[in-house]
Chain A
Amino acid sequence: MQLKKIKGQMAVATCALLQAASPAANAAEAEWDVDTSLLYYSEADGRVQAAEPAIHAGRDLGDDERIDFRVVFDALTGATPNGGYATSAAQTFTTPSGDSTYVTAAGDSPLDDTFRDARVSLGADWTMSLDRMSKVVWGASLSGEIDYISMGLTAAYSQDFNNRNTTLTASLGFNNDIINPYDGVPIEFSPMRVANTGINRDGDSETKTITDFMIGVTQVVNRKTLIQLNLSLSLVDGYQNDPYKIMTVVDDPVTGLPASSFLTADDLSYVYEKRPDSRQKNILFFKAVHHLEEDVINFSYRYYSDDWGIKSHTLDLKYRYELANSYLQPHVRYYTQDAADFYRHNLVLGTDIDTAGNALIDYASHDYRLAELDTVTLGLKYGIPMGDDSEFSVRGEVISQSVNDSGVPAGQETPDLDALMLQVNYSFLW
């Protein structure tokens, strides 16, 4: 009884304290929380290199309202796999513009090194309080790169229960994307042409819509543990091909060499890929954050499946190890996925595509990202406060990705991908 009374008095005292603290909170509202960051991303073997500066600024507006803005720039260069694979002979490909060629030596994996891109991404969120226990976050995003434009709107409704220990969230997102491939949209399953003999294109642009639904629950378990569980459904409709990826047409799948003749003398034995124009994704995401004596563990697991036949598991673990006045944070991530149903190593002439160029299968892609693959990431971050309200941190990560090419003849396998990521962050109040 006495305990209950003390508990009640504590609650009253806490509320009084919170109210008394509000003028100070109002003073803090005049400031922006700013996060700045620079990412350098580099893949081995001359593949993609990227530099991404970014800034995020958020500000409390009082009455539990808040605005957040984000700007990210992205500059990419380097070489990217074109969908072919290594063979025992040199291979000549035509660039997307159709007016020049690049040659891949025998035994090398074909990479298109004409790839360049720049991207600007803008985002804004407005958190609107409905009452003491519920809120809506409205979001808008816009990103543009040379061959891709994306516009998105989101709304997330959250309701607190159980003394604010349980939060239910229902979110809706809608994206409209416009794809403008360099020099037009390749005709699916049509051949890459010899340079300067015209290109197989149909129109300048395509579109895609993405509709996302998510419900989630966040629960305070005890003073040291917080958990989250989200279920998502994502529906993608429209153009989902990679317009720069081709597939090799072969006479003999064992040698894997491009077919000696295919259609006319101006047609190379490589055809543009084709993926379904709809995709449904289901995702289960669980996260737990746990405070030890001083350190903090942040763990998440994601199960993903879609109607392209891809299933994946993602495990992510960060351990924040507190030092005297700074922290070290090792990071481990493991990802594994199955291949898409239509992932193919090549197309066999007469079986998958006929000698008149008609496809005998519905879909095919040799984009390695749709293959059975694993990714392992190891990282380390060091963070140090710089005064009361600012922090500097630096993070380095090594990413190793390997494709499971079982069944693919020796010498034609997809090479592993090794990448390095370096990031510096500086956060402060302004």
Chain B
Amino acid sequence: MKRIATVILLMALAGCSSMGVEPWERDLLAKDSMQLVPDYFDNFYDEHIYFSKEASSGGQGVGGGGCGCN
């Protein structure tokens, strides 16, 4: 897992240096709808519901859990 993580990160960094935009090209990226999590509570409730109904959780961040869900 650690080795895969290192390789992916290195590849990502190498590949990423040729991507991107200039500061004045961020008009669309600055929109609320273009954020990684555009809807705070939609995401929060989804994580909470599926945490209590499925065996998998996490991926988007750390922490969370913390529920004796039925």
Q: Is the CB of A421 within 8 A of B49?
A: yes
Q: Is the CB of A226 within 8 A of B8?
A: no
Q: Which of A7-15, A23-31, A191-199, A248-256 contacts B (4 or more CB under 8 A)?
A: A7-15
Q: Measured between alpha carbons, how far is A220 from B44 in the docked complex, in Å?
A: 24
With contacts A223-B26, A232-B59, A285-B59 known, what are 6 further pairs, Cβ within 8 A? A14-B22, A156-B62, A165-B16, A219-B20, A244-B70, A296-B33
Q: Is the CB of B55 within 8 A of A223?
A: no
Q: Measured between alpha carbons, how far is A395 from B26 in the docked complex, in Å?
A: 29
Q: Is the CB of A80 within 8 A of B22?
A: no
Which listed residue (B38, B49, B54) contacts A373, Cβ 8 A? B54
- B55 to nearest A CB, angstroms? 5
Per-position 1/0 for B26-69, Cβ under 8 A of A: 11110101111011111011101110011110111111111110
Q: Is the CB of B29 within 8 A of A223?
A: yes
How many residues does chain B have at the interface if contact means C-beta atoms less than 8 Å apart?
52
Q: Is the CB of B28 within 8 A of A56?
A: no
Collect the chain A residues with CB atoms within 8 Å of residue B44's CB. 54, 70, 72
Collect the chain B residues with CB atoms within 8 Å of residue A162's CB. 16-17, 19-20
Q: Is the CB of B21 within 8 A of A220?
A: yes
Q: Measured between alpha carbons, how far is A11 from B24 in the docked complex, in Å?
A: 8
How many residues does chain A have at the interface if contact means C-beta atoms less than 8 Å apart?
106
Q: Is the CB of B41 within 8 A of A152?
A: no
Collect the chain B residues with CB atoms within 8 Å of residue A381's CB. 39, 42
Q: Measured between alpha carbons, how far is A18 from B26 in the docked complex, in Å?
A: 13
Which listed residue (A229, A298, A302, A401) contacts B8, Cβ 8 A? A229
Q: Is the CB of A214 within 8 A of B61?
A: yes
Can you give 18 A-B contacts (C-beta < 8 A)? A18-B23, A39-B45, A56-B41, A141-B64, A152-B63, A152-B65, A163-B23, A168-B13, A173-B62, A215-B9, A223-B21, A224-B28, A230-B60, A230-B61, A281-B56, A335-B56, A369-B54, A375-B50
